[in-house]
Every structure is written in C-alpha cells, then in structure tokens.
C-alpha cells in the first residue's frame, strides 16, 4: 500500500509539469518548474513496480508509453523484496543509483553531464532505447573498436571513457573545425583531482552488478531479441556526404528544442532532464553516439521522447548530423582504435588530420 501511495505522489509530480509543458509547442516559463542544480536522487522505496496500465513488451517498458512512465521499472532493485535477503543487494542498489545519477555519483571520474540512463531509458529497461535487460550474459564479446574480447566491466569502462568523457579530452571545436585540422583547445576542467576508472573500480563493479541483476534468468550467450535494435536498415542509410546538418537544424528546432533547449544542454521537464547533446559536458567524439548512424538509430526509435518513431529514417540522420556538427570533447586516443577491424564509415571524427595532434596512449588496453 505504502508503495502505491508513494508511486501515486511521484507520478503526480511527473504528470503535472509534463502535460503543461508538452501540450503546447513552446513551454511557457511558468509551466516549467525552476531548474535545479542536481537532479532528484531516487530514494529506496520511491518507485513502485511498473504501473501496468499497459502491456510490457517482454520484460521492457514499451516505446510508445508516455512521459508519465518515465520512471517505470519492471525490475526495480530498490523495491524488489527478493533482494532483501541477498548479500549483493547493496551492491546492486548502488549500481542502480550510479546508473540513474552518474555524474553526481561518480565525481572522481567525470565532470560530464551524462547519466547512463539518459541514453539507456528507463534505466536500461525500455524497448528500442538501448535496453540492457538480458545482455550481460553476452559478455565477454568481441569489440570491433578495440579488436579484442571485452568483459562487461571492460564495456562499462569504455562507456565511462567515451559516453561519460572520463578522459576529459580537449574541445574539438566541432566537426568542421576537426575536419579542417584545427588543433583542439585544452580541456576546460582541472583534471588534477580526477582519476580514470578501470575494471576493478568499485563503481564499475556496482554498475556491472545492476546490469547482471537485469539479466538474471536469461541464458548466457543467447542474444535477446530486443538487443541492438536501435539501428536504421542498411539500405536506408544515407551516404555520409548526403547528410545535411542545416536540414537537421530545422528538424531540431521543430521537434527537439522544447526539451533539449536552443543550446542543446537540456531543459528541466518535470523531474527529467536530458543530458547535454553537445558542448564540454557532453559525450566525447570517440563515443558511439558521435557516429552518425549510431546516433540516428537512437533518435529514430527513441525520440522525440513522447512520440518515438515519428521521424523518417532520413530525418533522423539529418538531425543527428546537426548534433554531431557541434563542438564536443575530443577523445585523445582515437589513433589506437580500429587497429584490427576496419574503420566504420560513420565514425565522423576518426582519420582526420588533427587526430595525431591529440594522440597518446590509451589507458584502456
Ligand atoms: C518531450 C521532451 C523531449 C523531446 C521533444 C525530445 N527529447 Fe530527447 N530526451 C528527452 C529526455 C527527457 C531525455 C533523457 C531521458 C532520460 O534521462 O530518461 C532525452 C534524451 C535524448 C538523447 C540521449 C542523450 C542525452 O543527451 O540525453 C538524445 C540523443 C536525444 N534525446 C535526442 C533528441 C532529438 C534529436 C530530438 C528531436 C527529434 C529529441 N531528443 C526530442 C526529452 C525529449
Ligand atoms: C551518450 C549515450 C550513452 C551513455 C551516456 C551511455 N551509453 Fe551505454 N551505450 C550507448 C550506445 C549507443 C551503445 C551501443 C548500443 C548498440 O550497440 O545497440 C551502448 C552500449 C552499452 C552496453 C552494451 C550493450 C550491449 O547489448 O552490448 C553497455 C553494457 C552499456 N552501454 C552500459 C552503459 C553504462 C553503464 C553507462 C554509464 C556509465 C552508459 N552505458 C552510458 C550509449 C550510451
């Protein structure tokens, strides 16, 4: 009972601002609550199980549900009574909190504004939004970029280096600047107090525990059918030189700016705020999301948040080209990637003149 009441309160908080903000084309200032510095940290017992006013898709929250379901979790370690008697409960719950509030929970690693759950929606439990349920048993898995097998922990460390920009690379000045061979400007943060995560870092181990929890009951090595589905069909991929960032900017202004803001830094919408799409606190140019087709595959099926699927394959690619054209941190070790496997055509920032200027030795062998 307590759970249902609490969930009711949490849902109200979400519904009210969201319906007002999203009903109109441009949210008025009064309808959006004032932005807060630190996103609300979910507390134990705060989320109930998924509301189940809709059918789950297998184990996942369906892509077509509303923003009211933004915090729905078919598997919630904070409220799962089965965990109470387990010794690893605290670790799994810590991993969940890390996944939900990554920058606040890992200040020693990253100064980015990216939370794992900004890209893996509903904490990795939403259909067609990079779901992670049932995937931990697929590791170790060959990693094309590194040219070797990756454990789950290796994969998470990679996410920190790239999606979370834990390497704190310099500003690349945007795609045009990078293509012209401009030398990146130094990082804007003091990196003295920061450390690099590795496979033995406590936070990485906790995140892996949460992801393994999401995969309990699945057969290791059996690819779940919802894995790696954020992909545009190969025959519908535009050639790289047909991508049009200007057309993408128009789409952004029409369909994305309300929630992501004119500067791409994210607008507080209810108790949700997207991570920065570009700029010094965004993912760096060695991340999967800095590849045209990878970003487009996410946007095509998971965005706009309330109407995923409305973009055409082409428009998803143009808007992604616009986002990728903007400045973001440079991943300083790009020259060490793709030493074994061929460079994918959409890896926008690889093979450019300036790559040499920022190369070094990758801390992830
Ligand atoms: C109704 C609000 C809304 C609209 C409109 C919207 N988004 Fe989002 N978007 C979000 C929220 C909220 C998140 C983060 C989700 C979370 O943390 O659960 C997000 C996450 C993302 C992410 C993941 C990375 C990040 O920085 O958070 C990308 C990329 C993205 N959106 C692109 C787009 C694009 C492109 C459009 C327009 C086609 C769009 N979005 C429209 C709300 C919206
Ligand atoms: C900027 C967006 C973004 C952020 C932030 C992000 N990821 Fe990812 N993640 C991706 C993309 C894109 C993929 C590739 C998905 C695919 O291949 O379909 C991925 C893949 C993964 C995979 C492999 C999934 C599989 O099925 O092979 C794991 C595990 C993972 N991410 C964990 C994390 C963790 C943990 C964090 C936070 C520390 C995180 N991610 C942050 C975008 C992101």
Which DSSP symbol is given to 81? G
Residue percentage of the chain with pLDDT more than 90: 70
Any atom of ligand 2 within 6 Å of the Cβ of 294: yes
Per residue in 145-180, pLDDT (tens digit) is 999 999 999 999 999 999 999 999 899 999 999 999
At 363, is the pLDDT very low, low, confident or very high (cuts 50, 70, 90)?
A: confident
For residue 102, pLDDT beyond 80: yes
| pLDDT at residue 361, rounded to an integer | 76
For residue 11, pLDDT beyond 50: no
pLDDT, average across residues 29-51: 44
The CA-CA-CA angle for residues 238, 242, 243, to 5°, reads: 80
CA distance 354 to 53: 52
> Are 157 and 198 spatial neighbours (Cβ–Cβ below 8 Å)?
yes
| pLDDT at residue 357, rounded to an integer | 55
| pLDDT at residue 355, rounded to an integer | 55
Q: Which is more confident, 182 or 327? A: 327
At 360, is the pLDDT very low, low, confident or very high (cuts 50, 70, 90)?
A: low
Dihedral sign for Cα atoms in the order 172, 168, 103, 231: positive
**Which range, of 120-124, 187-191, 352-356, averages the lowest pLDDT?**
352-356
**Which range, of 5-9, 33-37, 140-144, averages the lowest pLDDT?**
5-9
For residue 194, pLDDT beyond 50: yes
Domains belonging to the chain, first-starting first, are 234-358 (1.10.760.10)
At 354, is the pLDDT very low, low, confident or very high (cuts 50, 70, 90)?
A: low
Tokens of residue 277, six digits: 């799409």
CA distance 217 to 196: 33
- Ligand 1 atom with the smallest distance to the CA of 113 is 26
Per residue in 54-94, pLDDT (tens digit) is 788 889 998 887 667 788 898 999 989 999 999 999 999 99
Dihedral sign for Cα atoms in the order 237, 242, 248, 251: negative
For residue 282, pLDDT beyond 90: yes
| pLDDT at residue 364, rounded to an integer | 76
| pLDDT at residue 67, rounded to an integer | 67
Question: Cα of 156 to ligand 2 centre, how many Å?
Answer: 8
Residue nearest to atom 16 of ligand 1 (CA): 118
Nearest ligand to the CA of 256 is: 1
| pLDDT at residue 12, rounded to an integer | 33
pTM higher than the cut 0.85:
yes
Output the average pLDDT for the chain: 85
For residue 187, pLDDT beyond 90: no
Residue nearest to atom 30 of ligand 2 (CA): 156
For residue 28, pLDDT beyond 50: no
Residue percentage of the chain with pLDDT more than 70: 82
Question: Cα of 120 to ligand 2 centre, how many Å?
Answer: 7
- Ligand 1 atom with the smallest distance to the CA of 315 is 38
DSSP H/E element including 302: helix 292-302
Q: Which is more confident, 201 or 34? A: 201
CA distance 172 to 182: 8
| pLDDT at residue 318, rounded to an integer | 98
> Are 166 and 189 spatial neighbours (Cβ–Cβ below 8 Å)?
no
pLDDT, average across residues 98-106: 96
Mutate to test the pocket of ligand 1, among 116, 258, 274, 326 (most ligand atoms within 8 A of CB): 274
């Amino acid at each position: 009972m307590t759970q249902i009441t609490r969930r009711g309160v949490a849902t109200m908080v979400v519904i009210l601002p969201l319906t007002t903000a999203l009903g109109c084309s441009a949210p008025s200032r009064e309808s959006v609550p004032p932005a807060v510095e630190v996103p609300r940290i979910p507390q134990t017992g705060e989320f109930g199980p998924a509301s189940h006013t809709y059918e789950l898709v297998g184990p996942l929250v369906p892509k077509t549900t509303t923003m009211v379901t933004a915090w729905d979790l078919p598997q919630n370690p904070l409220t799962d009574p089965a965990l109470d008697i387990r010794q690893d409960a605290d670790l799994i719950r810590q991993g969940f909190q890390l996944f939900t509030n990554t920058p606040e929970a890992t200040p020693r690693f990253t100064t980015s504004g990216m939370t794992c759950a900004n890209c893996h929606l509903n904490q990795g439990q939403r259909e067609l939004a990079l779901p992670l349920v049932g995937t931990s048993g697929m590791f170790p898995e060959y990693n094309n970029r590194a040219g070797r097998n990756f454990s789950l922990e290796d994969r998470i460390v990679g996410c920190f280096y790239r999606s979370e920009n834990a390497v704190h690379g310099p500003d690349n000045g945007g795609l045009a600047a990078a293509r012209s061979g401009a030398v990146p400007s130094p990082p804007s943060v003091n990196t003295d107090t920061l450390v690099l995560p590795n496979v033995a870092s406590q936070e990485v181990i906790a995140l892996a525990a949460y992801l393994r929890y999401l995969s309990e009951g699945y057969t290791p090595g059996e690819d779940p059918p919802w894995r790696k589905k954020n992909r545009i069909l190969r025959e519908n991929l535009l050639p790289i030189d047909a991508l049009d960032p200007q057309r993408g900017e128009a789409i952004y202004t029409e369909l994305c700016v309300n929630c992501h803001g004119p500067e791409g830094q994210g607008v507080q919408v209810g108790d949700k705020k997207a991570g920065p799409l570009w700029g010094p606190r965004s993912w760096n140019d060695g991340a999967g999301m800095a590849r045209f087709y990878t970003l487009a595959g996410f946007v095509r099926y998971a965005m706009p948040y309330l109407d995923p699927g409305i973009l055409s394959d082409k428009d998803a690619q143009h808007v992604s080209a616009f986002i990728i054209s903007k400045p973001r941190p440079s991943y300083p070790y790009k020259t060490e990637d793709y030493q074994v496997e061929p460079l994918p055509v959409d890896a926008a920032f690889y093979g450019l003149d300036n790559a040499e200027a920022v190369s070094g030795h990758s801390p992830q062998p």
